[in-house]
Structure 1
Amino acid sequence: MNLLRTLAAISSMTMVSRITGLLRDTLFARAFGASPYTDAFYIAFRLPNLLRRLFGEGAFSQAFVPILAEYKNQKGEEATRSLVDHVATTLVWATVVVSVLGIVAAPLILMGIASGLDGDGFDKGVVMTRLMFPYIACMSFVVLAGAVLNTWREFKIPAFTPVLWNLSSIFFSLFLVQYFEVPIYSMAVAVMVGGVAQVAIQIPALKRIGMLPRLSFNPLSGLKDPGVRRILKKMGPAVFAVSAAQISLLINTNYASNMGGGAVSVLQYADRLMEFPTGILGVALGTILLPSLSKANADGDIGEYSALLDWGLRLTFLLALPAAVGLAALSTPLIAALFNYGEFNAANVAAATAPLMSYAAGLLGIILVKILAPAFYARQDIRTPVRIAIGVLIATQAMNLVFVQMLGMGVAGLALSIGLGACLNALFLYTGLRRRSIYTPHAGWLGFFLKVVVAVVLMGLAAWFSQAQLDWAGLRSHPVLRIVALLAIIALSAIVYFAVLFALGFRPRDFMRRAK
């Protein structure tokens, strides 16, 4: 398998997802702006989305994939199919129970995660929490299916799946929102419709590889499987290890809910733009590396293991550094061109720009964690990332006290603490890999890094100078011109960056790699 070609394929699918996600958020901002009602929606969605990441994309995937790879490579098809059946039964029943509890306890949950939300906004938040909580049951099955398909190196369907939620939200915001007595409720219903659609698209792909789970009506039957018990044992600590940033984000949501109407929303809009490069590069690389690293570990191939990590880290620096500088330099144009329509005014643009710049400062760390954490999980080492994650969680909240309480940075301080916390996380993960001799850098890193820095600096100067020539909020009445200008600046910046790299001797073949 050509890893660079596979990365390009997954990234292209992820890009479709992120582009449709940005379109979804643009239409949402145009229709609802940044208000207590939009805050209520994002807060209501935060907890089921957090649980999805904790028990699905995060802890579950990292615990499940290495064990699944071990079964597939060493125990045969029948044992692997049995494991998938039992894991699916346990996961689906557990998330159904959690969904029911979330629906019943919605008012208490909302008081706990958003103490600043009150009155009508609180009441609508309770309704939307109840509408969206079953989303985690849908997404748990989707994440399980994605883990299975990725282990069979079927990457395209899992990468494309999030597009369906985006399309659902776009359809509701354009055509069905006017049929709801409370318009914001349409977005909550769209989430559930998108979740069901994501489940449906996985089924044919799983059938094709012979791994469609056979669910049992007995919720406890899966717990008898020793493989399931191994996964659950590793999932507990992995919740903290994988999701430290998500837990911090939940705490930050509570902070933001006390900063006035619209604060949660502008933080969400900035977060969405930060997730664009995170998904295209970080998630895609992590998706490719975890199965390959798990196989190398099962085969006892230490050289291949280290080489895979080196390849992933070089690609991360090559692409994440310019993405971070680009987000910072073009923060105002990006927010204005994507969201400054309808109810989203110039004040909202200014409010969302500051947290986006803060997120950009930590983007490299956020992406590196998605590369470095799988290096531990592929070896079924959960304890080390857990210790690191708990320390980083404490440090992040300490930074909140400094940035928000002492320096008065507001929402931007919340975003900065998340980003710098991720950088700390990445640093400690890297140090742990080096100390254990799991990863040994290949020769040439210093020259590589210096060349990338030169290219990034020149690209950043070009982007900053170009965007400074226009009044981006003032172009609100000329949306096409504003979008064309933004795309032209992005294209110019990319040309400058890759032209400098080419002049310094970089070639695409230098990053070609095949997995064994």
Structure 2
Amino acid sequence: MSTNQTPRDDAPVEGSAHVVDRHKGLVRRTFLVSGLTLASRLLGFVREVQSAILFGATSPIYDAFLTAWRVPNLFRRFFGEGALSTSLQAAMTEADAEHGDLAGRALFRATLRVTTLILVGLCAVGMAIGLFAPGLAESGLFGPPPGSEAVIELTVRVLPFLVLVCVAALCAGALQVRGEFLGPALAPVAMNVVWIATLAWIDWQHAGDDHLTQARLLAGGVVLSGLAQLAIQLPALRRMGLVGSLPGERPPVAAARAGIAVLSASAPFALGAAAYQINVMIDGLMAEALIAADGGPTAHYLANRVQQFPLALIAIAATSSVFPSLKALGHLNRLGELRSLHDRTQLAVAFLALPAAAGLAALALPISSALFEHGQFDANGAARVAHALAYLAAALPAAGAVGLTSRVYYARGDLRTPVRISIAALVANTVLNFVFLRFAGMDVDGLALATAITAWGNLLALQPGLTRGLGLPAAQAGLTRRLVRITLAAALSGSAAWAAALATAPLNDGGGPLTWLRLGLGVAAGALVFAAAARALALPEWGLIASRLHSRR
């Protein structure tokens, strides 16, 4: 049965190989997802720049908004990039392979119903707690700590986004299983467009209002952006036959139970697949609680947003594209192909992530100044962002590799190992945060350093289990040598970018055209040196790019 047609009751059960066959064209699909992810991230930068201009670098209200936003945003990271959608993809792939696409459709719809009910309940409870918290504080019994009123109010206002983004993530996961990646990739683009429009409207109509009023309006725009993220996927859901009723269709009890099982399985996914995102949230909450100077959460958030740009464009896009294939190969016990796909994807991600990390570290200050040093956001705020970004750059390759390696475990049905390692990473991250902030006297850069250390520790702990625990073949011959050569090329690239930034330091004009020129020269120097080094070291990834460019010419 074609995956572009609505399933029928009398359709035969396909052979299990169709769950692999419909994911052909991996390179083309990855480029599609990466291209739309690039558009989304560029729009995300526009929204962050708008926010920085509007609120500045030391606004306690914007600190409060970002702290409130981290609650639904953590769920977005879990479900959009890991837990619930990954769990659904695993279960839906098995249902499609063993019982046909109608069984997969029933599983998706049952999971959607159960999830929506639970999320609405959680949202209602969270909003009720937030609404009653000020009254409890006034009664003298217990309540929020002093100064947290804005955080609580704004959290209540953005909580409905949690329901919308989780439902949208479920829909995206189901579409990806069926080989449809356009709608899911467009969803974050729609979210950012609505967010940017909200900021523009606030700046146009409410520029003279206080920051709390502006933050309240922005919270409303966040909820609208969640609606847009869900609505843009509806056409693809209809086209794939995942929504809408079929003649005589009844939701089977088995599918409802399987839907609950998907939710149960998403709990370990949340820790295993999104440990890095949990670490980032812990950093943000500790920045609000432990850093005395205003602007700590803002500086850490903006540095993380910059670091997330290459992470999402390279690693998350590749992982999202390849996971359905990993799960299908793991389910069919084709272990050699599973290991090969993992290794090839890791090398491709490393080829892009390592030079990106070197460039972010070398050009942290020009990047921060060019993006954020405008309006109420001053040079001190830009420098604070740059210090955190330099350390977060070191976490980029490891964070991307952890996401892919964890999904190999999930493809083989092992949920426990990534969870155990993730819990250890969470504990280590929290301890290191206290050490760096309280005893080493560091600022937001201490939080970023802790994240980098735990990300690499997580990756190193996962690697041995691929062969010992999962029974996969050993890594392909020459894998380590290729990684060393990519690392060398990236180091040379970062050195060239740093030298260019140092030589052009007099051009810095506080976020103006000369700063952008300085940044462009640094990026160009790093890119040229990396290309030359990749060619000199005969990296196969560079040869593939060169051959494709030559064939297109």
TM-score strictly above 0.5:
yes
Name the counterpart of 2:459: 426
Amino acid at match of 1:249: V
Q: Secondary structure at the match of 1:475?
A: coil
1:88 aligns with 2:88: no
Aligned to 1:284: 317
Structure exhibiting the larger radius of gyration computed from Cα positions: 2
Separation in 1, partners of 2:481, 2:160: 50
Using the alignment, how far apart are the partners of 1:108 and 1:307 within structure 2? 54
Structure 1: tracts of 5 or more residues without a match:
none
Which residue does the alignment assign to 2:256? Answer: 225
Counterpart CA distance in 2 for 1:171 and 1:473 is 33
Question: What's the counterpart of residue 200 of structure 1?
Answer: 231
- CA drift of 1:178 comes to 4.5
Name structure 2 gaps, 5 residues minimum: 1-23, 137-142, 546-553
Shift of 1:174: 1.8
Tell me by how many angstroms 1:128 deviates. Answer: 1.9
Distance 1:506 1:106, change over 3 A: same
Deviates more, 1:93-102 or 1:429-438: 429-438
Q: Name the residue aligned to 1:53.
A: 77
Asked if the contact 1:37–1:124 (Cα under 8 Å) also holds between the matched residues in 2, the reply is yes
Compute the displacement of 1:510 (Å). Answer: 6.2
1:62 aligns with 2:86: yes
1:9 aligned to 2:40? Answer: no
Partner of 1:179: 205
Q: Deviations over 1:179-237 (max 9, x none)?
A: 3551222321221111111111000011111112669xxxx998872322331331222
Change in Cα spacing, 1:385 to 1:404, as seen in structure 2 (3 Å) is same
Q: Which amino acid aligns with 1:156?
A: L
Any residues of structure 2 matched to 1:264-413 within 5 Å, and which? Answer: 264-413=297-446
Q: State the partner residue of 2:193.
A: 167
1:116 Cα offset (Å): 10
Matched, 1:466 2:489: no
Counterpart residue identity of residue 226, structure 2: G
Amino acid at match of 1:281: I
Contact 1:13 1:159 in 2 (8 A): yes
Return the alpha-carbon distance in structure 1 between the equivalents of residues 436 and 201 of structure 2: 42
In structure 2, the residue matched to 1:151 is: 177
- 2:513 is equivalent to residue 487 of structure 1: no
Residue type at the aligned position of 2:190? L
Q: Distance in 2 between matches of 1:508 and 1:236?
A: 36
Q: Judge conservation of contact 1:24–1:170 (CA < 8 Å) in 2.
A: yes
CA distance in 2, matches of 1:423, 1:116: 36
Using the alignment, how far apart are the partners of 1:440 and 1:379 within structure 2? 16
Change over 3 Å in CA distance of 1:510–1:228 after alignment to 2:
farther
Amino acid at match of 1:90: V
Question: For residue 55 of structure 2, what is the aligned residue in structure 1?
Answer: 32
TM (norm. structure 2) is 0.85
SS in 2 for 1:184: helix
Task: Give how far 1:450 is off.
Answer: 3.0
Provide the rounded CA distance (Å) in 1 between the counterparts of 2:544 and 2:405.
18
Tell me how far apart the structure 2 counterparts of residues 245 and 13 of structure 1 sit (CA, whole Å): 23
Task: Measure the CA separation in 1 of the matches of 2:144 and 2:205.
Answer: 30
Give me the whole-angstrom Cα distance separating, in 2, the residues matched to 1:245 and 1:269.
Answer: 16
Which of residues 120, 139, 142 is equivalent to 2:165?
Answer: 139
Contact 2:287 2:297 survives alignment (8 Å): yes
Higher RCO by CA contacts (8 Å cutoff, separation 6 or greater): 1
- The percent identity for this pair of structures is 31
Question: Hey, what's the Cα distance between the residues in 1 that align with 2:295 and 2:145?
Answer: 11
- Partner Cα distance (1:56, 1:5) in 2: 21
1:117 to partner: Cα distance: 7.6
In 1, are the aligned partners of 2:168 and 2:230 still within 8 Å (CA)? yes
Q: In the alignment, is the contact (CA less than 8 A) between 2:365 and 2:383 conserved in 1? A: yes
Native 8 Å contact 2:36 2:185 kept in 1: yes
| Offset of residue 316 of structure 1 | 2.1
Against the structure 1 CA distance between its residues 33 and 228, is the aligned structure 2 distance closer, same or farther, given a 3 Å change threshold?
A: same
Counterpart of 1:230, as a letter, is A
Q: Given the alignment, which residue of 256, 268, 271 partners 1:240?
A: 271
CA contact (8 A) 1:332 1:472 kept: no
Say whether the 8 Å CA contact 2:366–2:518 is kept in structure 1. Answer: no
Q: How far apart, CA to CA, are the structure 1 residues paired with 2:347 and 2:80?
A: 28
Deviation at 1:500, TM superposition (A): 1.6
| Distance change >3 Å, CA 25–CA 509, structure 1 → 2 | closer
Matches of 1:137 and 1:109, distance apart in 2? 22
Deviation of residue 107 (structure 1)? 6.3
Q: CA RMSD in A?
A: 2.5
Q: Distance in 2 between matches of 1:52 and 1:418?
A: 19
Distance 2:321 2:465 in 1: 22
Aligned CA distance change for structure 1 residues 237 and 457 (closer, same or farther; 3 Å): closer
Match runs of 1:103-118 below 5 Å:
103-106=127-130, 118=146
> What is the one-letter code of the residue matched to 1:75?
H
Residue number in structure 2 paired with 1:79: 103
Pick the aligned partner of 1:42 from 51, 62, 66.
Answer: 66
Kept after mapping to 2: 8 A contact 1:223/1:229 = no
CA distance in 1, matches of 2:473, 2:25: 21
Q: What is the deviation of 1:10?
A: 1.2
Check the 8 A contact 2:171/2:237 in 1, yes or no: yes
The one-character-per-residue Cα deviations of 1:461-512 (angstroms, maximum 9, x if unpaired) are 1100111133489412x72332233233213311221222122223458669
Q: Provide the C-alpha distance between the structure 2 equivalents of 1:235 and 1:42, rounded to a whole number of angstroms.
A: 26
Contact 1:365 1:420 in 2 (8 A): no
